[in-house]
Amino acid sequence: MFGLGKKRSKFGKFLDKNRIMQEEIAKESGVSRNTISRLTKSDENRPSMKNASKIIKSLRNNGYNVDNDDFWM
């Protein structure tokens, strides 16, 4: 089962819910896969503004209506 027993952040839950693979978002946004993986594990991890902008822009280009505040405050 996908994500069984893993702690997930709001961002990680969003990716799981929409069946978005970490590799896909990393490739489309230009943010490293390690950074994406770190961000999906815990809400305590936050990206730099530059990486957050890249991730949000990539998600919006794919039709998702999201904002930084949806994942990181």
Q: How many domains does the chain have?
A: 1
Q: Is residue 70 part of a domain?
A: no
- What's the pLDDT at 22? 92
Q: Which sign does the torsion angle of CA 65, 9, 6, 41 carry?
A: positive
- What's the pLDDT at 3? 55
> What predicted TM-score, i.e. pTM, was given to this entire model?
0.86
* Residue 14 · residue 42 · CB < 8 Å: no
Residue 42: which domain range? 10-65
In this prediction, the residues of the chain whose per-residue pLDDT falls under 70 are 1-4
Q: Is residue 61 part of a domain?
A: yes
Q: Is residue 73 part of a domain?
A: no
> From CA 72, how far away is CA 10, in angstroms rounded?
8
